[in-house]
């Protein structure tokens, strides 16, 4: 989803910085995007200049029901999804322009209550609280903070995580009977990044095809 968003942002005239842990994945992303993109491995605080939009989109998850959850699984999931998001935003603060837009990628798992996903759901649910607190802390700088919460999206990560039966089960929960496409999430991300959403602040924008409301 973040890759599709980066490509769309570049098409709209932005210069995009993408940050990640694996250099090979970053190199492949730069090649796919093609232009106006800078890859940063590891610490995003090394960036120079000023930032208008910060999209914190990293996330991992592993299925385990209550009674089977290990401390290692909990630590790994919360370390990236919660701690990683918080400190990415915090380290970027000095680089953010006044009037900037921050948004984080949530998950419909925190709204729907899928069995086996309590750790992942919890690690994403914290973002809704952070958005409300941070917009108050940053209001003097007119920085907006929102959460973009996608539903099931057909990504490479989904292919790794789910077998065909699981994918069909998830698709049966979606009113249109089909997972979302990364490009459909990217257009919502572009909205949150742009001045078109200048009056949207502290909100969770759920983009799941209606899954969590039925």
State how far the Cα of 23 lies from the Cα of 30, in Å rounded to an integer: 10
**Banded pLDDT at 107 (limits 50, 70, 90):** very high
Active site residue 120: yes
Each residue's pLDDT tens digit, 26-69: 787 777 777 767 776 665 445 556 889 999 988 889 999 999 99
Q: pTM to 2 decimals?
A: 0.80
> Which one is catalytic: 114, 117, 120, 134?
120
Domain boundaries, the chain: 2-213
Q: Which CATH number describes the domain made up of 2-213?
A: 3.40.50.720
Measured CA to CA in angstroms, residue 132 lies from 59, 146, 196, 203 at distances of 21, 8, 20, 8
């Amino acid at each position: 989803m973040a890759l599709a968003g980066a490509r769309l942002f570049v098409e709209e005239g932005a210069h995009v910085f993408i940050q990640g842990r694996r250099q090979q994945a970053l190199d492949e992303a730069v090649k796919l995007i093609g232009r106006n993109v800078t890859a940063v491995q590891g610490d995003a605080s090394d960036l120079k200049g000023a930032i208008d939009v910060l999209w914190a989109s990293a996330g991992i998850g592993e299925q385990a029901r209550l009674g089977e959850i290990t401390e290692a699984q909990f630590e790994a999931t919360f370390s990236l999804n919660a701690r990683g998001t918080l400190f990415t935003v915090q380290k970027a603060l000095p680089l953010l322009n006044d009037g900037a837009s921050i948004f984080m990628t949530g998950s419909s798992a925190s709204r729907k209550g899928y069995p086996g996903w309590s750790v992942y759901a919890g690690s994403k649910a914290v973002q809704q609280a952070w958005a409300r607190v941070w917009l108050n802390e940053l209001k003097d700088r007119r920085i907006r903070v929102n959460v973009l919460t996608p539903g099931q999206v057909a990504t490479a990560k989904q292919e790794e995580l789910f077998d065909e039966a699981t994918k069909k089960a998830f698709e049966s929960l979606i009113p249109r009977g089909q997972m979302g496409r990364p490009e459909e999430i990217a257009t919502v991300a572009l909205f949150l990044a742009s001045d078109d959403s200048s009056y949207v602040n502290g909100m969770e924008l759920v983009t799941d095809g209606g899954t969590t409301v039925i």
